[in-house]
Structure 1
């Protein structure tokens, strides 16, 4: 019998939140007897190479354009006959659907939607293509209820075509990873000041400009330090803003780190300041290692993760004053690591992978019965 095989298709980068979740899914699929191809489009790179299992086959189609990608992916589908295709990112969804038509095969295609598309897709022609093409997939996976509502309300996609499956965020290796020592002097034993942590690509979406304003307000009443993990185009502007606010000595933009968990485990508070998200995986990661959290109530995900604010304050987007107040309040509260960890069981990677296999029609009979 030919082994079951999933093709995960996308223009993946070497590092990133989406890429990390793809690798986690691939690892879990392997443990459940599914072979995995990572099929790269449009200059894609091998994601998280230090974590990617060697059993995963990476196939770079070396595509130069969308028509080139359609042609080459069609050839892959005809030659390799994967049992199912899972697409990540909008570009790969459209390419895969057209490639299947060109190849004249019946391979099931599931589209994974990882962000609030009304915030990320602006051009009318792109929105029209989503309306026309996404319903032709065998299913759509939204990573939060908010993302699903956006697809229904903005793009008119029937709700029954969309399944909500959270990201596979919490894996068995979390305790060992969180136990490592962060490579920064602010986390030295006996540190004099609390450390507030944030993480994400330095772009307008993540709202780090608002976080710096909130931190400056917080600093008027108490000493603290702010560390942001990640890099991106907004770095010069954020550095200039920190200097202008007079907080640059206590703000560290330390760039990309391969694993944020040791920093989250040691931080006194984690803050998500985004203007919009698909889910907000960093909130889940921080909670899973026991770090108290504060978040903006942005679309989509934080309200679901924090269960309407039960596990941490939710503040309006773009409101630095209320964000500062929530940060101060949370710093004064007793840390409840056990409660926060329990709240993240919904995001267990093994269970999430089983849900994906069920949606893809590749779950074993006992797995399918358990999920349904």
Structure 2
């Protein structure tokens, strides 16, 4: 099979494709990563040597199309999985022209009605999704969005969650945390994580935190980098909680922080799934999330595993954070339902949907 995308050296999509590649190898499926438009090898130090990497060294879409045609005609794969918009358009157009001999599966990683605001981009996406052999949505919410806003036939959409829960998590959470607030018997720490952008709405998290801070000793750590760093620090100063808020920047692995959190908070305006919320639960953290499109309600089983609050509602978020700090759920409840996101099961589902293994003859590893 071929995984086709203009990958970066690191990133969320890149991490998930690395995990899938490892799991495909366990299923005796050898993936080829085909890079386009200046793409880089994702996580080169971690990528298994058995995964072949082909750099098309292409420039625009048409250059990519001609080079992909030549590559696939030499060695047609059983399936082509695209991971980003540029590669999806190239592969689907090639499929329509008869230049791509293999079925094309387009992975949709976010809620498209939220990310595609311009009319041209929406029309382009509508064309794209309709002509793929299959569209793979990473959550039920993304599937519903595709049907409602892009007129995609629901029969052409498969929901496959991201491969977020990996076998190495129990070992990763044991790693030390180089931050004084996570050592000793200090106040509990609320943890958030993600790009410091409007989508993640850390401004509302800060407002909620300030209200909790008025009533009890508590601290807030937001992991990640982004353009709103200074605005968030200024907001913390304005709210009078700067001494109890820290933005340490990007950390290579947030799981040890999650494992030591009093509560993890996802405050986003929208998501495709909310991988960081799954990671926090897998690390054993109690969690609170906004009921944003798409994913948190599915992950938290509509409030059964952790509270869901309206997007942008600082009062509701403060109440949920305080209630969870005072009465956190047990470990069994926190980890409930995480099997859906196990990397081996997710990879098997991909292989079944793409016709690379028979659904009735292969079982997930236990």
Q: Give the TM-score category using the shorter length.
A: over 0.9
Partner residue, 2:121: 126
CA distance in structure 1 between the partners assigned to 2:146 and 2:36 by the alignment: 24
Q: How many equivalent pairs are there?
A: 365
Q: Is residue 77 from structure 1 mapped to residue 72 from structure 2 by the alignment?
A: yes
Partner residue, 1:159: 154
CA distance in structure 2 between the partners assigned to 1:50 and 1:89 by the alignment: 22
SS in structure 2 of the partner of residue 19 of structure 1: helix
Partner residue, 1:289: 283
**Residue 264 of structure 1: which of 251, 258, 263 is its match?**
258
Deviates more, 1:123-132 or 1:99-108: 99-108
- Contact kept, 8 Å, 1:40 with 1:61, in 2: the verdict is yes
Shift of residue 96, structure 1, vs aligned partner? 1.2
State the superposition RMSD in angstroms. 1.9
- Contact kept, 8 Å, 1:24 with 1:349, in 2: the verdict is yes
Partner residue, 2:61: 66
Shift of residue 322, structure 1, vs aligned partner? 0.9
CA distance in structure 2 between the partners assigned to 1:268 and 1:51 by the alignment: 31
SS in structure 2 of the partner of residue 362 of structure 1: coil
Partner residue, 1:88: 83
Q: Is residue 203 from structure 1 mapped to residue 230 from structure 2 by the alignment?
A: no
- Contact kept, 8 Å, 1:197 with 1:267, in 2: the verdict is yes
- Contact kept, 8 Å, 2:94 with 2:100, in 1: the verdict is no
- Contact kept, 8 Å, 2:6 with 2:35, in 1: the verdict is yes
- Contact kept, 8 Å, 2:95 with 2:103, in 1: the verdict is no
Q: Is residue 136 from structure 1 mapped to residue 131 from structure 2 by the alignment?
A: yes
Distance change in 2, residues 1:291/1:334 (3 Å): same
Deviates more, 1:178-187 or 1:152-161: 178-187
Q: Is residue 346 from structure 1 mapped to residue 317 from structure 2 by the alignment?
A: no
Shift of residue 365, structure 1, vs aligned partner? 6.4
Deviates more, 1:65-74 or 1:343-352: 65-74
Q: Is residue 182 from structure 1 mapped to residue 177 from structure 2 by the alignment?
A: yes
Partner residue, 2:95: 100
- Contact kept, 8 Å, 2:7 with 2:35, in 1: the verdict is yes
SS in structure 2 of the partner of residue 226 of structure 1: strand
SS in structure 2 of the partner of residue 35 of structure 1: coil
CA distance in structure 2 between the partners assigned to 1:206 and 1:316 by the alignment: 14
Cα offsets for 1:210-255 (capped at 9, x unmatched): 1111111111111211111111222222222222222222222122
Cα offsets for 1:178-202 (capped at 9, x unmatched): 11112222211x2311111111111
Distance change in 2, residues 1:344/1:144 (3 Å): same
Q: Is residue 41 from structure 1 mapped to residue 36 from structure 2 by the alignment?
A: yes
CA distance in structure 1 between the partners assigned to 2:78 and 2:358 by the alignment: 14
Shift of residue 102, structure 1, vs aligned partner? 5.0
- Contact kept, 8 Å, 2:72 with 2:101, in 1: the verdict is no
Structure 1 residue runs of 5 or longer lacking an equivalent are: 1-5
Cα offsets for 1:260-301 (capped at 9, x unmatched): 111111111100000000001111111112110000000000
Partner residue, 1:172: 167
- Contact kept, 8 Å, 1:75 with 1:103, in 2: the verdict is no
CA distance in structure 1 between the partners assigned to 2:48 and 2:238 by the alignment: 45
Distance change in 2, residues 1:344/1:370 (3 Å): closer
**Residue 330 of structure 2: which of 328, 336, 345 is its match?**
336
